[in-house]
Amino acid sequence: MLNPLIKTADTITADTWPADIAIQLSHSKHGTRLSRCEHRGPLYVQKPFYPEGPDHAHLYLLHPPAGIVSGDTLTMKVNVEPNAAALITTPGATVVYRARDDNPVQRQVIDLNVQSNATLEWFPLETIVHNHACFEATTLINMEANSHFCGWEITSLGLPAKKQLFTDGRFRQRYEIKINGSTQFIDQININDSNRTALLNSKAGMQNYMINGFCIFGPVDNQQQAESRHSDTQLERLRAEQLDCTRDCQVSITRLGDFYVGRYLGTSAEQARRHFTQWWSIIRQEMLGKEAYSPNVWFT
């Protein structure tokens, strides 16, 4: 069950605009349906679209301000019930603006629950973190047996195309996947004044690339697991499908336990998404038995 959104007077002030949304997707003889949606503040979803048929819903998560300022907290909770399937994306980038000196922290909290035999594809467009921002982002995915998850996270630190780099501010991101309560994957980064140079500029860090991202798909099924012990054919195919880099970038994909994890360092969020989409199109066919269907909003 989804936790209710509790509206309290002390969470809203004149200079902040917090927003919360709780979404529940259920499966019935009519397919996957949006069975519950509660929201507070400027965070909504459009009605579900069904470009792949009634069993797989597509939802667009809308945040009309399109930006996060000091004191704001965006909270998103999604519960995909047994046998339901959904792809959730955003129509545009999330922008994290320069923080104020008072109450500087800007937060985004994402809580995703994927129940037995359910599928969630979580593909937000990129997050743009302005110089002098103070941003904390947490994503937790709780999965049950036989469920599937596909997701990505793409971040631009500063506005490198405009030569506005992330020379000041803080950025902390944590992304965790659990299956039946056991942690399977953690990706985290914490950039602050004490480690900025080492993380952004060093060969062991981001190598002066301000746009980074990762994608994760899985878990693979038992047959794929058995085959992978003796052969890296699928991984070789995924690596062979890497697109030519029209701009300077580094990309890679590997297998970590029961998940495929791809990574990108480069100069273009769009380029990162193209790489991730290419891998997704291959893995989705084998993992879900469905061809990839990219939302139209990605091309507008």
DSSP per-residue codes, 145-174: TT-EEEEEEEEEESBGGGTB---SSEEEEE
pLDDT tens-digit profile, the chain (300 residues): 444 444 443 344 546 678 999 999 999 999 999 999 999 999 999 889 999 999 999 999 999 887 999 999 999 999 999 999 999 999 999 999 999 887 689 999 999 999 999 999 999 999 999 999 999 999 999 999 899 999 999 999 999 889 899 999 999 999 999 999 999 999 999 999 999 999 999 988 899 999 999 999 999 865 545 454 445 688 888 888 766 555 688 999 999 989 999 999 999 999 999 999 999 999 999 899 999 999 988 987
pLDDT (0 to 100) of residue 242 = 65
d(CA 144, CA 127) in angstroms, rounded, equals 28
d(CA 90, CA 82) in angstroms, rounded, equals 24
d(CA 255, CA 262) in angstroms, rounded, equals 9
pLDDT (0 to 100) of residue 10 = 39
Q: The tokens of 109 are what?
A: 């909290």
CA dihedral 78, 40, 295, 91 (to 10 degrees): -140
All structural domains of the chain with their residue ranges: 13-207
Q: pTM of the prediction? A: 0.91
Instruction: Give rounded-to-5 percent helix, strand, coil for the chain.
Output: 15, 45, 40
- DSSP-derived secondary structure letter, 46: P
Measured CA angle at 96 (ends 92, 97), to 5 deg = 120
Give the residue carrying structure tokens 């509660």. 38
Strand 259-266 and strand 249-256: the pairing is antiparallel
CB distance 58 to 295 below 8 Å: yes
The CA R_g of the chain, rounded to the nearest whole Å, is 19
pLDDT (0 to 100) of residue 254 = 93
pLDDT (0 to 100) of residue 64 = 87
Enclosing H/E stretch for 41:
none
pLDDT (0 to 100) of residue 227 = 53
CB distance 51 to 58 below 8 Å: yes
